Structure 1
Amino acid sequence: MLDDSLPIRNEMMTARQRWTILLVSVGGALETFDFVVYGFFAHEIGREFFPINAGMSADTLSFAVLAIGNLSRPIGGIFLGRLGDKYGRRSVFTVSAMVAAVATLLIGMLPSYRAWGMMATVFLLLLRLTQGFCVGGELPGAVVYAVEITRENHGVLCGMVFFAVNMALLLAAGINLTVQMVFTPDQVSSIGWRIGFLLGGVIGLLSFVLRRSLMETNEYAQTVGARHREPLAVLFREHLKPLATGIAATVLVGASNGLFVAHMPTYLRQLGYDPQRIAMAQTLYVIVVSACILVTARMGDVLPRRYVFRLGAVLSALFGPVFYVTVARHQASLPVLFVMAGMVASFANGTFACAIAELFPVGVRFSGVGTAMNLGLAASIGTAPLIASVLVTRTHWPPAPALFMMLCATLAFMASFGMKETRGDVGAL
């Protein structure tokens, strides 16, 4: 009788493997949900937690907190990745979910600046740092589980993880749309924005309870000899080139999400677009990205994955300026532009994670994926709204955020030449 935990080649996944993919996908999804909800309500959070006479706009200060929170992600990714390679994926993946969920819940309950003064601002920053540290291991852990739970179709399994991530984006966009439609602007600023954080915290705690049933990944459990006493030392000594490749590949995905999701509501409001119309367009964007990710992820299993990713980098560099110039001039339908943006973004979103995981052997995979993805995301998804806001303010040119998109796409294009083409047994690497 076959052991249910062993990888099976050329056969359907076992029930336990399907359950594991579902649980780890929810974990990666919650990471994105918690951060994106902040981006959707950055304007309201800025009004709630920063004084009017702070010397900078409340929007800019709110985006600064978003960026600072993301800076703790690589620290968490490196630290948690080391523990995951040294002691196992399961324990790290479970504990981080609980702490991140509690931090999210507390943000939703935090009193405003008017009630607590600077204490409220300080607590907001500390909770964002804590949240960022813990979720630094969430999405990398989900990717590692996807490539180690079975020996085939890694691209599709990673695509399922990011499909769940984008379902979380859809949930966040839906909450944003509902809140904007149900509440008045003043009610959104005082109460409405908190709904997303409270919901995310509750779901996160439920995820923690369910994750206690997770088993260790097949490949990690079977390769005791591949483990290192200090995986980080091995990673930085022997795998610097793959690490740089992974970071450069991730910045494009981070830039896309940071600009089109987190920064766009505030940006488009400044250009005179209706908040409800913005929310509807962003919901379409998430739906399109989610559906197309499954297609591009499958393409990465059938075609050379690096080529699919490279095509995404080229399309992003070309489409970014077109999108921003068109939006700034009000020359096209907002939903149509966001649908096109979603199709373009799916090429990189559907292939980058699996390509990064294939760069590292099992002994340093969690450390490698966690370090590369979190450094890349810290340099892009958290800073993109802040950089875009500063670019527009300093240049007085509304399409200026396209410059950041083009830079990240260029780095990703260069990174694609450092990717391996396995399309087979990652465990053999």
Structure 2
Amino acid sequence: MNNGPGHARRAALSAFVGTSLEFYDYYVYALASALVLGHVFFPGEKTTVSDIASFGTLAAGFVARPLAGTIFGILGDRWGRKRILTLTVAAMGMATMGVGLLPGYASIGIWAPVLLVALRIVQGISVGGEWGGAVLMASEHAAAGSKTFAASFAQLGSPAGMLLALLTFRMANAFGLETFLAWTWRIPFLLGGGIALGCYMLRRQLQETPEFLAQAANVEAPPPSSLRNLSGEWMKIVYAGAAAVIGTAGFFFMNTFLLSYATRYEHIDRETILNALFIATFLQLVSQPLAAWTGERVGETRFLLAMATACVFLPYPMFLLLRTHDIWLISLGISVTIMALSAFYAVVAGYMAAAFRPAIRYTAISIAYQTSSSLISGFTPLIGTLIAAHYAGQWLPLAVFFSLLAVISIVGVIGLARTKTAGH
């Protein structure tokens, strides 16, 4: 098996490219849910009701993720990481293109939102199996001492995908609001489906990871992963899921809910907030590898706790800067907050993977991550919308909500650190 540094770099690059395209498809839906899906698929007199319905379909995809993560995790521990990754990206591409081709409520009535939810669930199933495999494809090819850094390349797909999604929506929005609402919003979805096909071909060229092949070749090893093999690991899985919260829910708060909140309650121009998110996401893309490198050298636990603690306090100045309506101050507040939570996100994947043995690793981290995403991250924009509506757009309750997400991660990191110290 080719296990040299050159192949490890190619594996990390492949994980980055694959997750970039996978997250692009996912973020395109998230942005559309904030900008247009309520208008096209849930028309009504009250905009808040349309927003809630739109964010509800976003949450629907998250509901499917724990079961998908469990099934794909078990299959990934049995069949290998490569085979699952080719399946997930193909499913995501078909679902994303389907949304771009789906007629609106005005054309087919109630079938429009029904089919939208169905396609969203397919997206959720796809991402449910994607994340764990991409993290392991990168980290299990890497040498000891650089596995956290390698795993961060899979995490780097999140800002790269978001950046690409923002670019395509900026282009679609350039034709004017009327044209955007009529048809140009579909372009990012159609583009995502085509890109996913290219990603599918790329992933077919990957080699299986050395750690999986060694596990599969060990005739004395216990049977491949199943839920029965997770006995004694469930508390660790709970801690791992809690640890991931600010790195996942935080992004949907910043990149999805905040977009709707800023335009609706702070009356900030859509172009201004999209520009601010673009600047913040570019800085995230540049800084995230450095954060992973730093975390591996200063100690992952110490680094994660520092970043999560920063996320407890950062939303308060961010909301104050948002109210200035100044593009540069808004960009500053959003960028600093996103860079802190992205630094956490860069390190937490490798930290979670290292907590579990290879035979159950895909299953364990997929259940932890996807259950956390389903229970908390997927509902974050919806909860934010309800809070904003209840408190008439007051920002303080929203900042407290963001702080609570960071506190959950602090508890998870501390708990996971204790279980890792005790051994498994």
With normalisation by structure 2, the TM-score equals 0.92
**Paired residue for 2:303?**
308
Number of the residue aligned with 1:27? 18
Is the Cα–Cα contact under 8 Å of residues 25 and 164 in structure 1 kept in the other structure? yes
Aligned match for 1:323, one of 318, 327, 336: 318
Which amino acid in 1 is paired with 2:129? G
2:62 is equivalent to residue 63 of structure 1: no
Indicate conservation of the 8 Å contact 1:39/1:263, yes or no. no
Match of 2:347 in 1: 351
Q: How does 1:15-414 map to 2 (within 5 A)?
A: 16-42=7-33, 43-52=35-44, 57-152=49-144, 153-180=146-173, 182-224=174-216, 225=218, 226=221, 228-235=223-230, 237-270=231-264, 271-328=266-323, 330=325, 333-399=329-395, 400-414=397-411
The structural deviation recorded for 1:67 is 0.7
Identity of aligned residues (%): 25
The amino acid of 2:156's aligned partner reads F
Alpha-carbon contact 1:355-1:420 (below 8 Å) kept: no
Aligned to 2:414: 417
The CA distance in 1 between the partners of 2:358 and 2:105, in whole Å, is 47
Deviates more, 1:375-384 or 1:359-368: 375-384
1:359 match: secondary structure: coil
Contact 1:289 1:345 in 2 (8 A): no
Distance 1:232 1:93 in 2: 21
Tell me: CA distance 1:169–1:56, structure 2 relative to 1, closer, same or farther (3 Å): closer
CA contact (8 A) 1:251 1:379 kept: no
Name the CA distance, whole Å, in 2 between partners of 1:231 and 1:146: 23
Contact 2:168 2:188 in 1 (8 A): yes
Distance verdict in 2 for CA 1:184–1:397, change over 3 Å: closer
Aligned equivalents of 1:219 and 1:107: distance in 2? Answer: 38
Residues 250 and 405 in structure 2, CA contact (< 8 A), matched pair in contact too: no
Cα gap change, 1:227 to 1:133, in 2 (>3 Å):
farther
1:306 maps to amino acid: T
Is 325-334 or 354-363 further displaced after alignment?
Answer: 325-334
Distance change >3 Å, CA 46–CA 397, structure 1 → 2: closer
The answer as to whether partners of 1:23 and 1:207 remain within 8 angstroms in 2 is no
Equivalent-residue separation in structure 2 for 1:148 and 1:86 (angstroms): 16
Residue identity matched to 2:147: H
Is 2:59–2:374's contact at 8 Å kept on the other side of the alignment? yes
CA contact (8 A) 2:321 2:329 kept: no
Q: Could you tell me whether the CA contact under 8 Å between 1:73 and 1:136 is conserved in 2?
A: yes
* Cα deviation code 1:82-103 (max 9, x no counterpart): 1101221111111121111111
Mapped partners of 2:235, 2:194: distance in 1: 40
Q: Which amino acid aligns with 1:65?
A: T
Aligned length: 414
What is the RMSD computed on CA atoms of the aligned residues? 2.2
C-alpha contact 1:231 1:363 (8 A) present in aligned 2:
no
Structure 1: gaps (5+ residues): none
Which secondary structure does the structure 2 equivalent of 1:267 belong to? Answer: helix
TM-score between the two structures when normalised by the length of structure 1: 0.91
CA distance in 2, matches of 1:216, 1:184: 47
Q: Decide whether the 8 Å contact of 1:89 with 1:216 is kept in 2.
A: yes
Gaps of 5+ in 2: none
C-alpha distance in 2, partners of 1:227/1:202? Answer: 41
Partners of 1:240 and 1:133 lie apart in 2 by 22
- Structure 1 stretch 338-347 or stretch 48-57: which is displaced more? 48-57
- Please list the CA deviations of residues 274-332 of structure 1 after superposition, one character each: whole Å capped at 9, or x if unmatched: 11111110001101111121111001221110111111110000112222244246588
CA drift at 1:128:
0.3
The answer as to whether partners of 1:70 and 1:129 remain within 8 angstroms in 2 is yes
